Amino acid sequence: MGMSGSIVLAADDPTALARFDAELLEVEPQPGLSGTHWRLPWPAGGWLEVYEPSRRRPQPKQPGRLALCLQRPAEDSPAVAVLNDWINAALALGASLQDPARLESFGAEAWLLGPEGNRLLLLVLPAP
């Protein structure tokens, strides 16, 4: 059997967080190994696993340098315009803006916090 990988994300409300992430990833959340575990296909391969941690081993919320980075191409629109639309969609789903949109040499980016305070980078890559 080959090796596979996933990203795990502890959540106070895994169902709500899985819905939030699924909307941004434009995928359907799939039931996981228990009623408090969800799996979402990750664009780079593998899964984003959203789960409620065991009460015996809680996962405290913590700021850090790790963040989910979601990327999409600008296609035929300016990268900042695509990013601003994406930010508005994330805000409507319960995110909060941490740093406003800015244009960098590699694309347009914005840092947000998801509904449970996890860091989230939205990155729109310029059209080739």
Tokens encoding 42: 């990750």
**Domain 68-125 falls in which CATH fold?**
2,3-Dihydroxybiphenyl 1,2-Dioxygenase; domain 1 (3.10.180)
Q: Residue 75 carries which side chain, given as an amino acid letter?
A: E
The CATH number of the domain covering residues in 6-51: 3.30.720.120
pLDDT tens, residue order, the chain (128 aa): 676 788 988 899 999 999 999 999 999 999 998 999 999 999 989 999 998 887 776 667 776 778 899 999 998 899 999 999 999 999 999 999 999 999 998 899 999 999 999 999 999 998 77
- The CB-based long-range contact list for 56-65 (8 Å cut-off, 24+ gap) reads 59/10, 61/116, 61/117, 63/117, 63/119, 64/119
Say what the pLDDT of residue 28 is: 96
Could you tell me the pTM of the whole model?
0.83
Say what the pLDDT of residue 105 is: 87
Give domain limits for the chain.
6-51, 68-125
Q: List CB contacts of 81: < 8 A, sequence separation 6 or more.
A: none
